[in-house]
Structure 1
Amino acid sequence: MRVSFFRQLNSMSSLKKAPISELPLVPASQLLIHNLTPDTHTPSVAVFRDTVLTTKPSLQRRARLLSPECHFSHVSPLPIPFPYDVEPPEEPDLQEDKASYIEKWLASREAVHPATNVAENSPSVLHKYYPKNRDQPLDLIGISETGLRDCVPHLDVGDAFEVIGAPSLSNEFDDEGDGKESDIPEAVAARKDLVDILSGHAMLMSKEGKEPAFAPWSLRYSGHQFGSWAGQLGDGRAISVLVTPHSSDPSLIYELQLKGAGRTPFSRSADGLAVLRSSIREYLCSEAMQALSIPTTRSLSLISLPALPVARERVETACVLTRMAPSFIRIGSFEALNGPTNMFFFGGGQQKPDWEALRVLGEWVSGQVLKLGLGKGEAWGTKLVLETTRRNAEMVAGWQAYGFMHGVINTDNVSILGLTIDYGPYAFMDVFDPLHICNHTDEGGRYAYKFQPNMIIYALRALLDALAPLIGAEAELGKAVSKGWAENASAEKLEEWKQKGLEIRDELDRVAQQTMATEYGRLMRKRLGLRKQDPKDESILSKPLLDLLETHRLDFHSTFRTLASFKPSLLSTAEPLSPGLHEFITRLLAATPYQESMDHGKATEAWLEWLQAYAKRIEDPSEKELWAGVEYVDQAREKEVKAANPRFVLRQWVLEEVIKKVERDSDSGKKVLAKVMQMACNPFEPWGAEDDEAITAEEKEERRYCGLGEKTMLGFQCSCSS
């Protein structure tokens, strides 16, 4: 039995934990809402709290373009169906117009009533608010141990893990919990506190007079979607509800964001909700990517709203995911302030450029998000672009090395921090196909696996385009631009600055390509158990290996895992194909569901040629030097390769099966979900006792979940609809 981190955490008496409503808030200097410009309709926390929520709540739900200078809008979570089912008043003599009645109807559902158990003299900045005329069942179906451990270890989740129950694929329970509520009142209260806030039912907000002032918000951003300019997009169903410092490093902050918590000004015609299906996919994959050391946003909780139907391609159940990151600012955040003017436009609208808002956002991102460590007055535009380039290049190299396909690399889905963000129709590679398209709405294959590096560069160039006038102005000044920097600039001067700024495009491309190549090479060597850096590895080993996988339709991940047990001594006999080598190649060729169409003779010859090159590389004197002092090199290399190549992969068939189990029966499904999360967070472990035939029912299921699944699910394409 694997001991739950929750158990370990509870035993750490030195770690002071608190319920979510009592977590510390970061200082105003680290809060986005105190450093960027709010929506003119929600100009401050005080106005939002005391006026908008009580008298004009529709302002935060009505789809509209924000003023050009604005970066965000305050929004409160409201996960209810849209269009809103507002029943007219029964009293015929009620003398009020329809608009006033709708405002009252919405206001009665806002979380504006202080929790009764909060003392008036509480030192906490944040207070919990509840709605009076809104109630629905809330079902906690997932809590991420690794997300909790890494991002908010000071958060007391109470008996959340016990309520979910012991992780299990086969309903074999252990003593970690049986899904029942604790008999400790404090544990129950902490879990209910968590569920109320992270479901969007209750809201954290500062009380009048408490500093720093705080209320939730959604970001404004624009973007290119499938290469076409879409104008303003924004957080149409994401609301940031808390920003708290890490318990061991106050400079490291985490923003907690609810996805699927209801309409915002950026929802356009949508309902602002998310379905259980897509929420499970993001919840699992965020932590799976972290386990593979690929930069990503993180997940914390998954709360189902079983009584709330959501119409997508079919009617589904609503769910709220809590995800975490130091910041959710994207490339599209900059494009919102200076988008293209000479491009076909299909979106809902776009404001004129706002040069001062661009400066304000850039200074905030440079100092507080990317933490570039610049001196006072030092130019930041070029450094911001190149640092974002480096981070995203490293990220996409991880995608390529581990066969991850994002599916929708629109510029509004590319993080300034270089984090994998907005998990939609993603997939991990099964049978290797460089042209695989995981998103069935991507009819042209724009975001196919092979093209992902190019699409990241496309997004980074869009960032440069947005910042180019400012970068050019900084180049002319020799320092950072100051307030009002473009206030009196003519159109000709702005164009001159823009062209000057665009001169770093070649440098952007060079940094991106070089970083990708270096990081991809490092990861591929790691997957092959090689320590020496050799630029010839790409042409001699990596590319020919992938060609082998493509030609013979072999599984991407299990092939690498099998290569862990390769020993150069298999090639040292006088026979060209010894029994041991033949048996090893047979195992490699078993990694395909297309045995009947494989030319085993040609495949064996091809593998023999590649393995000879691999063995030669392993036996290279300069490579062997790096293993000096290791007594059993073959065993040590096998251990390293297995530690870099997952036994468990979050394949499409696994996701579909888990989703169906949770949809069919939440009580048993959430235990399966917990076990799959556990496997995804520990992908290199020998799940299913891979070398042992005597296995338990649980291990048998683990082994099945580590397999390719049914042939019909290979290359399964997902939808953007979530």
Structure 2
Amino acid sequence: MTELQSAFASQVPRCPKLLTCPHSPKKPGIYQPLVQRFLQEYVGAEPQSLEDARPEGVDQHVSTRNELQQEIATGRHFRALSAAENVGRSGLAHTGRCEQLKRPSLRARAQRTGDSIREVLTNNPSVQRRARLVDAAAHFSHVTPLNLPFPYRIEPPEDEDGETKSFHVERWLSEREPLDEQPPAPVPETNVNVGCLKKYSRDKRDIPRELIALSDSGLRDCFPQLAIGDAFVQIGAPSLSADEEVPVRSVSGAEVAVRQELVDVLTGHSVLMATGEGVEIPYAPWSLRYSGHQFGVWAGQLGDGRAMSILEASHPSNPDLIYELQLKGAGRTPYSRTADGLAVLRSSIREFLCSEAMHALHIPTTRALSLVHLPELHVIREEIFSSSVGGQQAANYDALRILGEWVHRRVLRLNLAADAPWGKALVMDCARRNAQMVAGWQAYGFMHGVINTDNVSIMGLTIDYGPYAFMDIFEPMHICNHTDGEGRYAYKYQPTMIAYALRALLSSLSPLIGAETEFGAAVKAGWADGVSKEKIEGWTKKGAEVEEEMKAEIEAVMEKEYKTLFRKRLGLKTEEPTDANTLIRPLFNLLQSHKLDFHGTFRRLCFFRPTLLSSDSADGLTAFIANLAANSFEMSTDDVDATKDWCAWLAKYMERVEKEVEAGIWGESAGEDVWVEREKEMLRANPRFVLRQWVLEEIIKRVQDDVGTGKRALAKVHEMATNPYESWGAENDKRSDSELSDEEKEERRFCGLGAKTLLGFQCSCSS
């Protein structure tokens, strides 16, 4: 298989996962849109007195970034921002350069960190690639992208001793590190401020790379100021029916250069950094360190094994909204264990499409930006690895405090008083966010497949798309991951597994919550130093008492959101206590007993009218039920029991709908206009296009067979996935198939159930 590089965006920071305890100038290259920094005041005037993690400059805790950022002055095009308001306007020099750090202690520490990073890349680069147990105080490790097959093909001379061979390995890796500064892509404007970062690469990093997908929706929502050159021209017009490439418009050399720079950065071929001599504010890519449970078993240190964050950027319309740009499949990190850190084409296409599809369904998610094909970089998959980084570490309670402070201030923005306890508030906010997210999963038939705790976001975002699937024929016990033999992560159990992850988060924070309960205030630096084991256990027990309150909150938020979403899908504006028992559960029973398609059924219900139940509309009702039967490979149009069951449910459904209409909830008029309005509302809540397994398998094969035409088909599926409620394929059009265009025919096919053999298709964790 060939390797693919993908770029994803999430609200900053994506870190931490559970249980880890862009206004810009007019038209820059890639720098100015992405260099804008988020400044955050951090408690205390001096750096925290944590022992520096080793190796110096590589493994860091989050306070390092907070401390170094709190006195940064950005270029003349950028603003200094805190989480809640503009800060430090006086004393900040807007001169188009990075101002000196004012505190000598921070300046010295920044210089040391910057020098250390470059020193590592020059003399000891293997520390970034070796699987190792990282210092307990570290929350992330600096690591540069490196697209190479693993194990690395390094052949030191046979006659050299061990020490010399070790030097040869370091030199071989260093020759492939981004140590040579490169000029930025030319842009029409002059005197352009490129901020503090510079572009670095090296000749030996050069491999063929081709942009095959760029998300217009991700670009629009997350990085609207990002210069992309002729990227969309190079990809081509979205099409499912075109078999050949079509002529494209001519482009300027500047457009090509900007697009190539974009591709270079989004593959990790070029790296934006601020390191080395004279650098005031060090900045380099990083991978997160975290731990967690996998399939219910404690797995110890995990971390980002193939993901690296490369930049942060404020959104131009909302400077407080920060997005983090991350590469997936960027090579080995200290957390890769025995894996290569790379990503294959099929898994990357799946994640690229689903990230944007979920956003279009209004389900919280990370976002996708790009896919870049690396055709000459081959990887090996479907080999089972069972080893991991072993070893146990003593709890580092101050590292827990630092991480928690980062999360509640910079990630969740809880806006608590300076000394107010935050542990319980953090857990409860995280619980509410994830309860709302999983309600969206259930309402739209999304199955994640691997809800290990490291795949659950502190922000309640859907992350780490692996063997996911959308429900086809409704089956509550469906398992989309063939690795999940026991059905731990089946559709029915997803809310339970999210609650499990939240209990694990609470378990990590329990001693801190207990201590804050006793102190009546937020814990301070060194809060657990010298404290007895018995005292820690007491705090832990006290903190664990929050579980019942958290459980009740999860259930309440999830039930409310779940019912709200289903009422929307059924075209109901009001809530009645009997809805679950008279409408929702009976509908699910119908779907399951008659093996009907989940999404297709809801879409067809959009076109139902109460007149179909009158004695004068027998033919119309028969035709409607036959249309429902088309959503199944099992139900037949002359199924007497199915017809009887549907008539009974539709009668209760129309009784409920007409009650709203008669109450004037849909307007004063009770004529046809009401039903037209309801139909429009329901069509906006029930997707016509669903990212089914057969669609993914076909589009993956198209790209594998022919990247040139495949990327256009990929672009079309992306367009359909990001506009799922549109009437693709001339929906309800009275024309015959022979009268439809080739593109309309393909759209219609892509909105169907597909082949029976691919219903319930399962993927693996490496998908």
Aligned pairs for 1:244-393 (under 5 A) are 244-313=313-382, 348-393=390-435
Q: RMSD value over aligned CA atoms?
A: 2.5
Range 48-57 or range 518-527, more displaced: 48-57
For 2:79, the equivalent position in structure 1 comes to none
> Which digits, 9 at most, give the CA deviation of each residue in 1:559-604, with x for residues without a partner?
0000001112222x246x72211211121122102246x8711101
Q: Is the 8 A contact 1:113 1:131 kept in 2?
A: yes
Amino acid at match of 1:605: K
Aligned pairs for 1:587-602 (under 5 A) are 587-595=627-635, 600-602=639-641
Aligned pairs for 1:66-85 (under 5 A) are 66-85=134-153
Q: Distance in 2 between matches of 1:363 and 1:309?
A: 42
Q: Distance in 2 between matches of 1:584 and 1:69?
A: 63
Q: 1:94 to 1:450 in 2, by over 3 A?
A: closer
Q: Tell me the CA shift for residue 644 of structure 1.
A: 0.5
SS state of the match for residue 438, structure 2?
A: helix
For 2:133, the equivalent position in structure 1 comes to 65
Range 602-611 or range 17-26, more displaced: 17-26
Q: Tell me the CA shift for residue 313 of structure 1.
A: 2.1
For 1:705, the equivalent position in structure 2 comes to 750
Q: Select the structure with the greater relative contact order (CA < 8 A; seq sep ≥ 6).
A: 2
Q: Distance in 1 between matches of 2:659 and 2:270?
A: 62
Q: Is the 8 A contact 1:39 1:71 kept in 2?
A: no
Q: Is the 8 A contact 2:594 2:635 kept in 1?
A: no
Of 147, 151, 155, which residue of structure 2 is paired with 1:87? 155
SS state of the match for residue 322, structure 2?
A: strand
Q: Tell me the CA shift for residue 134 of structure 1.
A: 2.3
Q: Tell me the CA shift for residue 24 of structure 1.
A: 4.2
Q: Is the 8 A contact 2:290 2:302 kept in 1?
A: yes
> Which digits, 9 at most, give the CA deviation of each residue in 1:193-250, with x for residues without a partner?
1100111111010154445321000000111000011000100000001111111111
Q: Is the 8 A contact 1:181 1:188 kept in 2?
A: no
For 2:764, the equivalent position in structure 1 comes to 719
Unaligned runs of 5+ in 1: 1-12, 316-344
Aligned pairs for 1:490-505 (under 5 A) are 490-505=532-547
Q: Distance in 1 between matches of 2:545 and 2:257?
A: 58
Q: Is the 8 A contact 2:574 2:660 kept in 1?
A: no
Of 27, 30, 38, which residue of structure 2 is paired with 1:20? 30
Range 198-207 or range 121-130, more displaced: 121-130
Q: 1:359 to 1:461 in 2, by over 3 A?
A: same
Of 689, 713, 716, which residue of structure 1 is paired with 2:730? 689
For 2:226, the equivalent position in structure 1 comes to 155
Q: Is the 8 A contact 1:125 1:207 kept in 2?
A: no
Range 630-639 or range 43-52, more displaced: 43-52
Q: Is the 8 A contact 1:658 1:673 kept in 2?
A: yes
Q: Tell me the CA shift for residue 190 of structure 1.
A: 1.2
SS state of the match for residue 625, structure 1?
A: coil
Q: Distance in 2 between matches of 1:142 and 1:438?
A: 26
SS state of the match for residue 29, structure 1?
A: coil
Q: 1:500 to 1:190 in 2, by over 3 A?
A: same
Q: Distance in 2 between matches of 1:549 and 1:288?
A: 24
> Which digits, 9 at most, give the CA deviation of each residue in 1:392-439, with x for residues without a partner?
000000000000000000000000000000000000000000000000
Q: Tell me the CA shift for residue 47 of structure 1.
A: 3.5
Q: Distance in 2 between matches of 1:126 and 1:519?
A: 43
Of 197, 204, 207, which residue of structure 2 is paired with 1:126? 197
Q: Distance in 1 between matches of 2:205 and 2:661?
A: 69
Q: Is the 8 A contact 2:512 2:523 kept in 1?
A: yes
Q: Distance in 2 between matches of 1:214 and 1:96?
A: 32
Q: Distance in 2 between matches of 1:626 and 1:583?
A: 29
Amino acid at match of 2:117: R
Aligned pairs for 1:536-575 (under 5 A) are 536-571=578-613, 573-574=614-615
Q: Distance in 1 between matches of 2:475 and 2:420?
A: 46
* Number of aligned residue pairs: 673
For 2:442, the equivalent position in structure 1 comes to 400
Q: 1:700 to 1:48 in 2, by over 3 A?
A: farther
Q: 1:69 to 1:567 in 2, by over 3 A?
A: same
Q: Tell me the CA shift for residue 622 of structure 1.
A: 7.6
Q: Distance in 1 between matches of 2:220 and 2:505?
A: 33
SS state of the match for residue 192, structure 1?
A: helix
> Which digits, 9 at most, give the CA deviation of each residue in 1:529-550, with x for residues without a partner?
1001223211111111011000
> Which digits, 9 at most, give the CA deviation of each residue in 1:147-183, with x for residues without a partner?
000001010111000000000001189xxx9475853
Q: Tell me the CA shift for residue 15 of structure 1.
A: 8.4
Q: Distance in 2 between matches of 1:94 and 1:498?
A: 52
For 1:135, the equivalent position in structure 2 comes to 206
Q: Is the 8 A contact 2:179 2:200 kept in 1?
A: yes
For 2:268, the equivalent position in structure 1 comes to 200
| Alignment pair present for 1:189 and 2:257 | yes
SS state of the match for residue 213, structure 1?
A: coil
| Alignment pair present for 1:627 and 2:633 | no
Range 48-57 or range 393-402, more displaced: 48-57
Q: Tell me the CA shift for residue 509 of structure 1.
A: 0.5
Q: 1:15 to 1:111 in 2, by over 3 A?
A: closer
For 1:342, the equivalent position in structure 2 comes to none
Of 424, 441, 459, which residue of structure 1 is paired with 2:501? 459
Unaligned runs of 5+ in 2: 1-22, 58-111
Range 406-415 or range 108-117, more displaced: 108-117
For 1:507, the equivalent position in structure 2 comes to 549
For 1:103, the equivalent position in structure 2 comes to 170
Q: Distance in 2 between matches of 1:144 and 1:525?
A: 31
Of 696, 703, 712, which residue of structure 2 is paired with 1:655? 696
Q: Is the 8 A contact 1:474 1:481 kept in 2?
A: yes
Aligned pairs for 1:637-676 (under 5 A) are 637-676=678-717
Q: 1:456 to 1:93 in 2, by over 3 A?
A: closer
Amino acid at match of 1:60: Q
Range 419-428 or range 44-53, more displaced: 44-53
